[in-house]
Amino acid sequence: MPDIGRTKIIHGYYRYTDIWFEWNKVLPNMEDGYAVKAILAHDTLVHPDHPLRLPGRNGIELSIGILDNGEARLLFSSAQVEYIRYWLHAMGLTKELIPLPYSDCLLTSARLQNISPVVYKTGGELHLAIKAIDKNNRKLKGADSNLNSRRLMFERVRSLWCEQRGVWCAVDFEAWDMEHTVITEFGWSAVHWVDGKPVENMGHLIVAEHRGFTNHYVPENRRFYHYGQSEDVTMKQLKERIHSMIEAMKKLGPLFLVFHDNNQDLKYLRSPAIQAPLDSLSFFLPESCTEAETSDSPKIYVIDTAELFAALEGDSGGQKRSLERVCRLLQIKSEFTQHLHNAGNDARCTHLALKEMAGGDPLDMQRVTRWPQHTSNNSGLRVSFSKEDEDSDALPSDDDDIITAGPYDPKTGRLREGWAESMARLQRRLDGVNTEQDDADKSPATEKSATGEA
């Protein structure tokens, strides 16, 4: 007789398709199979009274798992499957406690690169999701390994963000564009959670002794912080503030430092002028916040919104999009993106971009939902943006073609259809540019550029 006290219980995940299509077929009692099929039907799963419905969820929460080959699978947790069998028997809907699916069907965490939650609100949404996952898996065949890594990272960030633990802090530095070692600004935008509610703080520091160094090529926007009052500090005070901020945040759990293209900002944090306490910095994300909290030393993890967006649009290349372009394509309101190249504003917009992506649906669902007209006919995973999507100042492509061709059709000699409307749209756009230029001309004169002295 086996020693029950030493029996190892293994938890994991079952493929949705195995549970929905196959589980009912292998049950000894056919009538029990009908009950299983009924409780797992798409419209039944999303019903508010379903036994798997979690408090505060507006739908059924399942999981998306990423296999070693990069393909995704929709999953039930083993806990959900076990609960269903007990619930059906307790309600008298099965004659006996039905057996679990074969152990060979169980996917343990070791067989999955990442697991993240996903909520479906309607049966139709769930049904379409299964087809979409299968379609995207076919597109992944032969995909670039760099793209697969980015996709995995995106889902890992989503799952960590959904835990609502630790501190997520977006940071940005600005420097004089004639000498990049001269730091002129620092900004941050952070969030942590208390009793499930987000608590945010943000700020903008201007280096007082470098105020005279004004930019020649990059917009000079240090005076236009939109989220509070800027503070003047010395370089010594800036170093002290950054040190104390990082140390305080590390005490609240794992710290996720968020950048938009981290290369230059990390150089500033590690520079002799700042020497931020980053000894435990890691580019490798934990599987969960629990793993991070139980590590030997408090870890600081790097998140890059430029990499997240590259995963979302299906780009495997090395050319990263600017923060302004990312915010525009994510449809973050333009009121938030005014006066970028202000460190405080950039940090806040980086935070908003992170929230848009990490707080949204799984990657492939997001991509199709955000840009349906640019993905449905695409043979690969890369989103094809139009000229208007890429540049808010670009003419609509139809207008561009009409204006380039001229007002009259050479074959008929008649005025081209849509010419007047296109010219009117162009005039309105030019009027807007002229108005902005007039406002700029009326603004107070900016400080003179430094010639080498602070």
| Residue from 365, 363, 307, 305 nearest 332 by CA | 305
For residue range 127-182, what is the model confidence (pLDDT) as tens digits? 888 888 887 787 777 667 788 889 989 999 999 999 999 999 999 999 998 999 99
What percent of the chain lies above the pLDDT cut of 70?
A: 81
Spatial contact of 320 and 263, defined as CB atoms under 8 Å apart: no
Mean pLDDT is lowest, of 119-123, 306-310, 426-430, 441-445, for 441-445
Mean pLDDT estimate for the chain: 83
The model's confidence at residue 222, banded by pLDDT at 50, 70 and 90, is very high
Which pLDDT does position 451 carry in this prediction? Answer: 36
In angstroms, the CA 425 to CA 399 distance is: 8
Q: Which residue has the tokens 């293209």?
A: 261
Which pLDDT does position 58 carry in this prediction? Answer: 86
Which pLDDT does position 410 carry in this prediction? Answer: 57
Spatial contact of 211 and 447, defined as CB atoms under 8 Å apart: yes
Position 393 pLDDT exceeds 60: no
| Residue from 378, 302, 420, 419 nearest 139 by CA | 378
Q: What would the 3-class secondary structure string for the chain be?
A: CCCHHHCCCCCCEEEHHHHHHHHHHHCCCHHHHHHHHHHCCHHHHCCCCCCCCCCCCCCEEEEEEECCCCCEEEEEEHHHHHHHHHHHHHCCCCCCCCCCCCHHHEECHHHCCEEEEEEECCHHHHHHHHHHHHHHHHHCCCCCHHHHHHHHHHHHHHHHHHCCCCEEEEEEEEECCCCCCCEEEEEEEEEEEECCEEEEEEEEEEEHHHCCCCCCCCCCCCCCCCCCCCEEECHHHHHHHHHHHHHHHHCCCCEEEEECCHHHHHHHHHCCCCCCCCCCEECCCCCCHHHHHCCCCCCEEEEEHHHHHHHHHCCCCCCCCCHHHHHHHCCCCHHHCCCCCCHHHHHHHHHHHHHHHHCCCCHHHHHHHHCHHHCCCCCCCCCCCCHHHHCCCCCCHHHHHHHHHCCECCCCCCECCCHHHHHHHHHHHHHHHHHHHHHHHHCCCCCCCCCCCC
Average pLDDT on 203-224 reads 93
For residue range 38-95, what is the model confidence (pLDDT) as tens digits? 999 999 999 999 999 998 888 999 998 888 878 888 999 999 999 999 999 999 999 8
Which pLDDT does position 433 carry in this prediction? Answer: 47
Position 116 pLDDT exceeds 80: yes
Spatial contact of 23 and 101, defined as CB atoms under 8 Å apart: yes
The model's confidence at residue 379, banded by pLDDT at 50, 70 and 90, is low
For residue range 5-23, what is the model confidence (pLDDT) as tens digits? 444 556 899 999 999 999 9
Mean pLDDT is lowest, of 99-108, 287-296, 406-415, for 406-415
Which pLDDT does position 376 carry in this prediction? Answer: 55
Size (the chain), residues: 454
Which pLDDT does position 130 carry in this prediction? Answer: 85
Query: What Rg do the C-alpha atoms of the chain give, in angstroms?
Result: 27
Position 371 pLDDT exceeds 60: yes
Which pLDDT does position 41 carry in this prediction? Answer: 92
**Higher pLDDT residue, 181 or 418?**
181
The model's confidence at residue 228, banded by pLDDT at 50, 70 and 90, is very high
In angstroms, the CA 150 to CA 308 distance is: 7
Q: What is the rounded end-to-end Cα distance, in angstroms, of the chain?
A: 83
pTM for this predicted structure: 0.73
Tell me how many degrees the CA angle 32-33-37 measures, rounded to the nearest 5.
120
Spatial contact of 98 and 88, defined as CB atoms under 8 Å apart: yes
Which pLDDT does position 327 carry in this prediction? Answer: 94
